[in-house]
Every structure is written in structure tokens, then in C-alpha cells.
Amino acid sequence: MAPSQSAPLPVQKRAWDTRERILAAAVACLAEDGYAATTTSRIQERAGVSRGSLLHQFPSRDDLLIAAVQHLARQRVDQIDVPRAAGTLDDAVEQIWLTFHGPLFKAALQLWAAAQHNPQLAAALRPREHELGGHIRGLITRLFGPEHVAHPAFADLVPLLVASMRGVALTYTFEPRDHLTDPNLATWKRLAHRILDA
């Protein structure tokens, strides 16, 4: 009898677990050590895998780093509690703001900065970032709920919020502080209410 397609074989499960460890280690190294210091040897050591296992799944460092940030970012987006926040403006704004903090955002910043002087990295990163952007836009739509999304000004508000939050979050890279008490958060909430409650 052929094995079920839905139940992975033990070898497949081990390969998947290895891949997940490698991706998580790559993001942690990027966030903590920066792009230049994030070598495949450092990732291999942190993931606790063999050199062969790492190179079998990811032949180049940049492919690995891009895959790691994109994969874990999609996981993070999928873990956001949409049912609790959907349609509630304050919660929606807070959830968007939270995506600009933590190791994933720090790792993404490292890739973006490195891509400025690395055309091959930029070319590989660009389509993956566009793909992830579509995933994030879908999440934002679900967070705000259909009533707010239908507002004529919604399409103008969201890019303004995202760009503003990204800009403010950049300052946290050299001035760490509690992002939950950032005074801009209250401003973004007021703006959302002023525009979407009108």
C-alpha cells in the first residue's frame, strides 16, 4: 500500500525539521551579527546541522538568507491573531506596528542594506519581497475588516501607516526602547479613526 500523501515519511520529516532549524538560525545570525558576519559556517554551527545538510538545501548564502527571512516572515504573518483584531482599528494598527519589531525585521533590514551594494542580492530579493508584500497586504485587509476596507480612503491610509511605521522603526536600530509606548502609536490610531470612522 502506498503511503498517504498527507503523512510525511520520517525522512521527509527530518529533512523539514533540518530546513526549519537552518532558516531560524540564519535569521537569528542576520539579526544579531549583521549581513557581513553571517556566514554559512556560523549558520551551520547555530543550527546544529552538517555542512552537507546545509549545502544540500541551500547552495548559496544569499539564497539561504533570503529564503530564511521570507519564510519566517510568512510564518509570523500567519500567526497574527486576525479573528481577535479584525475590524478593530486600534488593534489593527497595533498589529501592524508589531511587525516592525523583533529579529525578523532586523534581519530584513540587513538584507535590504546589503542589497544596495550587491546587484545579485537585490535581483534575487526583489521578487521575493514583492511576493511577501502581497501576503502582508492580505493580512492588513483582514485585520481592518471589510467595513473599513470598503472606505474610499483605506487605500491611501495603509501605505501611509506602513511607510511611517517602517521609518520610525528604523530609529530603534540605534536607540532601543519600548516600542509599545512609542507616542507615534497613539497618533497612528487617531489618524486611522479620523479617516476611517468619518
Judge whether residue 83 has pLDDT over 70. Answer: no
Residue 166: inside a domain: yes
Phi, psi at residue 37, to the nearest 5°?
-85, -5
CATH number at residue 146: 1.10.357.10
The domain tally of the chain equals: 1
Residue 149: inside a domain: yes
- In this structure, are residues 35 and 111 in contact, taking their beta carbons and an 8 Å threshold? yes
Q: What is the pLDDT of residues 14-32, one digit of tens each?
A: 888 889 999 999 999 999 9
Looking at per-residue pLDDT, the higher value among 144 and 5 belongs to 144
Residue 1: inside a domain: no
Residue 92: which of 101, 100, 102, 82 has the closest Cα? 82
Task: Give the model's confidence band at 2: pLDDT under 50 very low, under 70 low, under 90 confident, else very high.
Answer: very low
pLDDT of 183 reads 96
Residue 30: inside a domain: yes
Q: Which amino acid is at 25?
A: A
pTM: 0.79
pLDDT of 49 reads 93
Judge whether residue 3 has pLDDT over 50. Answer: no
Q: What is the pLDDT of residues 130-176, one digit of tens each?
A: 888 888 888 899 899 999 999 999 999 999 999 999 999 999 989 99
- The label of the residue with cell 478593530 reads 88
Looking at per-residue pLDDT, the higher value among 65 and 8 belongs to 65
Residue 3: inside a domain: no
pLDDT of 191 reads 97
pLDDT of 198 reads 72
Residue 181: inside a domain: yes
Residue 73: which of 158, 131, 18 has the closest Cα? 131
> Residue 109 and residue 97: Cα distance in Å, rounded?
16
Exposed e or buried b per residue across 106-129, where buried means at least 16 C-beta atoms within 10 angstroms of its C-beta: bbbbbbeebbeeeeebeebbeebb
- The label of the residue with cell 544579531 reads 32
Residue 4: inside a domain: no
**Least confident range of 9-13, 177-181, 190-194:** 9-13
Judge whether residue 4 has pLDDT over 50. Answer: no
pLDDT of 73 reads 80
pLDDT of 134 reads 86
Residue 184: inside a domain: yes
Looking at per-residue pLDDT, the higher value among 96 and 77 belongs to 96
Domain extent, residue 89, equals 10-196
